[in-house]
Amino acid sequence: MRVNDKNYRTVWMQENTVFLINQNLLPFRFELFESSDWETSCMVIQTMIVRGAGAIGATAGFAMAQAALQAPEADYINYLLEAKTAIEATRPTAQNLFAATARVHAKALISRDEAVNEAQQIAQEDLDACMTIGKLGNTLIPDQARIETHCNAGWLAFVDHGSALSPIYEAAKQGKKPFVLVDETRPRSQGARLTAWELFNEHIQHRIIADNAGAHYMSHGMVDLMIVGADRIAANGDVANKIGTLEKAIVAKEYGIPFYVAAPSMTIDWLCATGVDIPIEERSEEEVLFQTGINKSGELTTIQVASPESEAWNPAFDVTPAHLIHAIITEKGIFKPSELNRMQ
């Protein structure tokens, strides 16, 4: 990830410290956050200093490794288990989180060093998978394609490269000149804030649109394909992703527009038979009723944007059924959702 001409990962670990790009401050400020213990790393996931399936997974793996480093010799096994439970309680939907804690926890039972190595390995695998997804996904993108995407499944959602945006970055490298319609993605506006910022940094043409405008552009033949990420994929190919994904998939079907999901295979939860089994996180209503940005003096400011006496509902994800998805792009190949099990 290039920021100010320097290469960054979104999250990395050196000795016992986890370093992260503070995504709550983007795109207005670029700041690193340092977490020197697993409890702080939990807070980092919970408060969305880090967000996005892969980046959450890597952070959770590092947090589990930090727990191994912190665990007192006398109470090592109990301490690890308590830490694992706490890390897994930070956010309920992203499969990568549970896969990472399970893997690092298993290695931690062997040794602290093995735990740290496994966490580093998970981050590296995430990065490699995203790069391969870019190369495979690029084959689905025609020259000068107009691509709609929802939320942020870019660099910032992973350790690097991204899932949904990785094929677009690859297409741009190949000179295909993709154009991206960026769904704002209320309530947290990861599209308007993070995806747009990434695309600007990569010099890729794009426009931000209100989530409401997707069907309008699709109905006018201005969207050639749609690519989104995934927070968890059930064995039958149902996909949990950012709230609003389901809506876009239904509209894309109405207009015969290919709808692709891009995600590392780690996102698949083989124990989830269908999307009904995926828990959906309900987040604070304040995310809908208030909004943060910068005021004219450049200060980060939170304002109330809704009627003060009213309450809100705020589901963070929805489930898109497999039949609405054209294909799932993974590092192991491109699969029809109904044929995901051929990967195993």
Residues that bind its own copies (CB under 8 A): 27-28, 181-182, 184-187, 189, 192-194, 196-197, 199-200, 206-217, 219, 242-244, 246-247, 250-251, 254, 280, 288-296, 301-315, 318-319
Nearer to its own copies, 302 or 338 (CB): 302
Closer of 267 and 314 to its own copies (Cβ) = 314
Q: Nearest CA to 15 among 157, 112, 158?
A: 112
Considering the complex, what minimum distance in angstroms separates the CB of residue 329 from its own copies? 23
In this complex, which beta carbon is closest to its own copies, that of residue 4 or of residue 307? 307
Q: Provide, rounded to whole angstroms, the least separation between the CB of residue 181 and its own copies.
A: 8
Q: Which of 126, 183, 231, 318 is catalytic?
A: 231
Nearest distance from residue 239's CB to its own copies, in Å?
13
Q: At what angle do helices 38-46 and 76-88 cross, to 10 degrees?
A: 10
The vertex-262 CA angle with 258 and 268, nearest 5°, equals 120
CA distance 182 to 177: 16
What minimum distance in Å lies between the beta carbon of 307 and its own copies? 4
Residue identified by tokens 């660099």 is 155
DSSP assignment of 156-223, as one string? GGSSSS-SSSHHHHHHHHTT---EEEEE--TTTTHIIIIIHHHHHHTT--EEEE-GGGHHHHHHTT--
CA 341 to chain centre: 23
Quick count: other Cβ atoms within 10 Å of Cβ 190? 27
Q: Measured between alpha carbons, how far is 338 from 251 in angstroms, rounded to an integer? A: 20
Query: Which of residues 57 and 214 has its CB atom nearest to its own copies in the complex?
Result: 214
113 is catalytic: no
Distances (CA, A) of 51 to 159, 207, 216: 11, 23, 29
For its own copies, which is the closer residue by CB, 8 or 290?
290
Alpha-carbon distance values, 249 to 150, 170, 305, 319 (Å): 11, 23, 28, 10
Minimum CB distance to its own copies, residue 23 (Å) = 13
CA distance 142 to 1: 24
Active site amino acids: 231
